[in-house]
């Protein structure tokens, strides 16, 4: 009988995955053990991964794999050309965590403006008095970099706080202007915004798109929020801007994860750091598992739902 190899946990119980497979009518046996120990590699029809690379060594071991189901939105860790050459289809899970990521972007912004973590530490250390005041979000200019599904949802939430919205995106959407947003050049967004929230996919065009020049355009004390991909921002340039205390940053993503304790971003001031948790809510993870299994069902039925290669 054909099987479905899971390289990583999807963040839900294995029993939940098994139930979803049954509900989808898939005649596939889920395999959870280390791929090197799979007893019948020829039976593996598909591979499910979150961020674990599927390289030639793995594909050579499973010669009958017909698809790779990426249980994630990003897929920059896969060699798409190699998969096409082998005739392997790839699908991903877009938009499963839109609300989760957007809500964290708002939370990070407010925490940064009000310095909530420091207030918590003050009380836990026996203190009460604070040495500085916070900043309101209402009325601030918010620049949204990338107005796809997540960027648009972030803009909607910022609009609810009565922020003025400006944005830059390679594809401009009417929905952004409908809620009062104005599209400007990248330079204008960075120079005018009090808060810059990044929502770009990582690819050849976007890697390092925010570098020394772009960070230099930001207002003194402006906040940079990154819940997208770390390498969209030039790390060295960001470190310098933080060390010089020109801007503040809230980061949920890093070039290497887990981030090392001696990483300059950890040591820099003016930062709020979270361990890549934007997508990790119970609701989003269950939604991700559902869509992953539906993608497999669609592929077996001859449809290209969420297919990227």
Start-end ranges of CATH 3.40.50.720 in the chain?
3-96+282-300, 98-273
171, two tokens: 């594809």
The CA distance from 115 to 92, in Å, is 36
Burial state string for 50-89 with b = 16 or more CB within 10 A and e = fewer than 16? bbeebeeebbeebeebebbbbbbbbbeebeeeebeeeebb
Q: Is 292 left (phi over 0), alpha (psi -120 to 50) or beta?
A: alpha
User: Is residue 167 classed as helix, strand or coil in its secondary structure?
Assistant: strand
Confidence (pLDDT) at 228:
96
Query: Which superfamily does 98-273 belong to?
Result: NAD(P)-binding Rossmann-like Domain (3.40.50.720)
Confidence band for 200, pLDDT divided at 50, 70 and 90: very high
What pLDDT sits at residue 262? 95
Catalytic pick among 170, 257, 283, 303: 257
Cβ neighbours around 37 below 10 Å, total: 7
State percent of the chain over pLDDT 70. Answer: 100
Phi, psi of 307 (to 5 degrees): -80, 135
| Annotated catalytic residue, options 86, 114, 276, 286 | 276
Question: Which residue is listed with tokens 């040591």?
Answer: 267
Confidence check: pLDDT of 132 > 80: no
The alpha helices in the chain, defined as continuous H runs, are 14-23, 56-61, 80-86, 98-114, 116-124, 149-160, 174-178, 186-192, 212-217, 235-243, 264-267, 282-300
Q: Find the mean pLDDT for residues 114-129.
A: 92
Q: How far apart are CA 45 and CA 158, in angstroms?
A: 44
Predicted local confidence at residue 58, as pLDDT: 94
Is the pLDDT assigned to residue 131 strictly greater than 90? no
pLDDT band at 269 (very low <50, low <70, confident <90, very high): confident
pLDDT at 76: 81
Residue 263 has a pLDDT of: 96
pLDDT in tens, 141-182: 999 999 999 999 999 999 999 999 999 999 999 999 999 999
Confidence grade of residue 260 (pLDDT, cut at 50, 70, 90): very high
215 exposure class (CB count in 10 Å sphere: 0-12, 13-18, 19+):
buried
Counting beta carbons within 10 angstroms of the beta carbon of residue 256, is it exposed (0 to 12), middle (13 to 18) or buried (19 or more)? exposed
Class assignment of domain 3-96+282-300? Answer: alpha beta
Instruction: Indicate the average pLDDT of the chain.
Output: 95
Lookup result for tokens 């107005």: 147
- Nearest Cα neighbor of 178 from 156, 149, 151 is 156
Active site residue 229: yes
Average pLDDT value for residue range 36-51: 95
Write down the catalytic residue from 153, 199, 229, 248: 229
Burial class (CB in 10 A: 0-12, 13-18, 19+), 120: exposed
Q: Is the peptide bond before 258 cis (omega within 30 degrees of 0)?
A: yes
Whether 257 is catalytic: yes
Interval 5-9 mean pLDDT = 95
pLDDT at 106: 98
Element (H, E) at 71: none
pLDDT at 133 over 90: no
Whether pLDDT at 199 is above 90? yes
Residues 223-238: pLDDT tens digits? Answer: 999 999 999 999 999 9
CA 62 to centroid of chain Cα atoms: 29
How much is the pLDDT for 77? 85
| Residue 122 in tokens | 């003050």
Average pLDDT of the segment spanning 52-65: 94
């Amino acid at each position: 009988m054909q099987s479905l190899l899971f390289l990583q946990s999807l963040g839900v119980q294995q029993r939940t995955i098994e139930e979803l497979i049954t509900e989808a009518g898939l005649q596939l046996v889920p395999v959870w053990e280390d791929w090197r120990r799979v007893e019948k590699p020829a039976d593996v029809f598909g591979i499910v991964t979150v961020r674990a690379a599927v390289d030639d060594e793995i594909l050579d071991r499973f010669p009958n794999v017909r698809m790779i189901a990426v249980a994630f939105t990003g897929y920059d860790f896969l060699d798409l050309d190699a998969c096409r050459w082998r005739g392997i289809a790839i699908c991903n899970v877009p938009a499963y965590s839109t609300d989760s990521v957007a809500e964290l972007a708002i939370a990070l912004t407010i925490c940064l403006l009000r310095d909530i973590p420091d207030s918590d530490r003050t009380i836990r250390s026996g203190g009460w008095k604070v040495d500085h005041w916070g900043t309101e979000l209402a009325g601030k200019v918010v620049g949204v970099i990338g107005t796809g599904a997540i960027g648009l949802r972030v803009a909607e939430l910022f609009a609810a706080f009565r922020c003025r919205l400006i944005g830059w995106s390679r594809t401009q959407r009417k929905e952004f202007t409908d809620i009062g947003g104005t599209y400007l050049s990248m330079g204008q967004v960075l120079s005018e915004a009090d808060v810059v929230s990044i929502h770009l996919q990582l690819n050849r065009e976007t890697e390092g798109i925010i570098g020394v020049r772009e960070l230099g355009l930001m207002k003194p004390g402006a906040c940079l929020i990154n819940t997208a991909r770390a390498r969209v921002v030039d790390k060295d340039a960001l470190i310098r801007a933080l060390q010089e205390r020109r801007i503040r940053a809230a980061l949920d993503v890093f070039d290497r994860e887990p981030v090392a304790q001696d990483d300059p971003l950890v040591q820099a001031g003016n930062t709020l750091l979270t361990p890549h948790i934007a997508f990790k809510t119970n609701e989003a993870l269950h939604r991700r598992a559902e869509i992953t299994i539906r993608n497999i069902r669609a592929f077996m039925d001859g449809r290209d739902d969420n297919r990227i290669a």
